[in-house]
Amino acid sequence: MISIFQTYWQALLYSDGYRVTGLAMTLWLLVISCGIGFCLAVPLAVLRNARNPLLWFPVWLYTFLFRGTPLYVQLLLIYTGIYGLDFIHNTAPFNEFFRQGLNCTILSFALNTGAYTTEIFAGSIKETSHGEVDAGLAMGMSRFTLYRRIIIPSALRRALPVYSNEVILMLHATTLAFTATVPDILKVANDAYSATYDPFDCFGVAALIYLCVSFGLIFLFRRAERHFLAYLRP
């Protein structure tokens, strides 16, 4: 295992000399897709709880579609399916965008995690205690201010433990990226395997790296929970 790491450490960690690979690529995929997903999820979660069906129904449909199908199918749809459409092929900016495996991967990951995150946040917005809302209204806050100052900050805090699960699951899902030719850790390990025929060591090294990232993320989320949920501690 050490010899594999000695040969491939550069590719496994940050670059194979031409492009970003391995750990750096995996983390980039994770950060950008969770970032986009998060930004998507906050407004959608508010809409998901709206009373007007014209507002909540599209959001419900989005989460239903993306949570009901496997991520791999979504990735295939965006990576091979959309690029096969004539309309996309003939429009220069779309053609440029969907030709890159990395763009397609990020798009599908962001949409997928966005759907799950929307449901998580929507659930936690729904659980906001009515006393807090009443107090905000009594202070004369407008609906927008109420959401900005009271509901969203408190909902995001309470969603943190569940959200951390979603991020870990997203880390697990990033391994799918290699099917769209994105050189993440698994791709490098697979290449090392094809060169050495030593599955235990090659995949073992990759497993250790993933284990470290998982534990690092869990540690960070623990810290965040201790900070943001301090008011819930006995």
By CB under 8 A, residue 179 contacts other proteins: yes
Give the nearest distance from C-beta 116 to other proteins in angstroms: 12
Among 10, 80, 95, 145, binds other proteins (CB under 8 A): 80
Residue with tokens 């599209």, as numbered in its chain: 58
Classified as helix, coil or strand, 15 is: strand
**Interacting span for other proteins (CB under 8 A) from 12-20, 28-36, 121-129, 208-216:** 208-216
Question: What one-character-per-residue DSSP string does 64-121 give?
Answer: HHHHHS-HHHHHHIIIIIGGGSHHHHHSHHHHHHHH-HHHHHHHHHHHHHHHHHHHHH
Of 48 and 187, the one with the shorter C-beta distance to other proteins is: 187
Among 10, 91, 145, 214, binds other proteins (CB under 8 A): 214
φ/ψ of 190, rounded to 5, equals: -65, -40
Q: Which stretch binds other proteins (CB under 8 A): 38-46, 55-63, 141-149, 204-212?
A: 204-212
Tell me the backbone φ, ψ of residue 15, rounded to 5 degrees.
Answer: -160, 150
Sign of the dihedral through C-alpha 151, 168, 25, 228 = positive
Single out the residue of 120, 149, 125, 153 nearest to residue 137, CA to CA.
Answer: 149
**Stretch near other proteins under the rule CB under 8 A, chosen from 1-9, 32-40, 80-88, 151-159:** 80-88
Give CA separation, 66 vs 35, 87, 108, 115, 224, in Å: 17, 23, 10, 6, 28
Binder to other proteins among 199, 216, 220, 222 (CB under 8 A)?
199
Q: How far is the CB of 159 from other proteins (least distance, A)?
A: 17
SS3 label, residue 184: strand
Q: Is 175 in the site for other proteins (CB under 8 A)?
A: yes
Nearest distance, CB of residue 19 and other proteins, angstroms? 21
Q: Which of residues 145-174 bind other proteins (CB under 8 A)?
A: 171-172
**Integer angstrom CA distances of residue 166 from 1, 102, 114, 179, 234:** 31, 21, 10, 22, 26
Q: Decide if residue 13 touches other proteins (CB under 8 A).
A: no
Residue numbers of the site for other proteins (CB under 8 A)? Answer: 64-65, 67-74, 76-77, 80-82, 84-85, 171-172, 175-176, 179, 186, 189-190, 193, 199-200, 203-204, 206-207, 210-211, 214-215
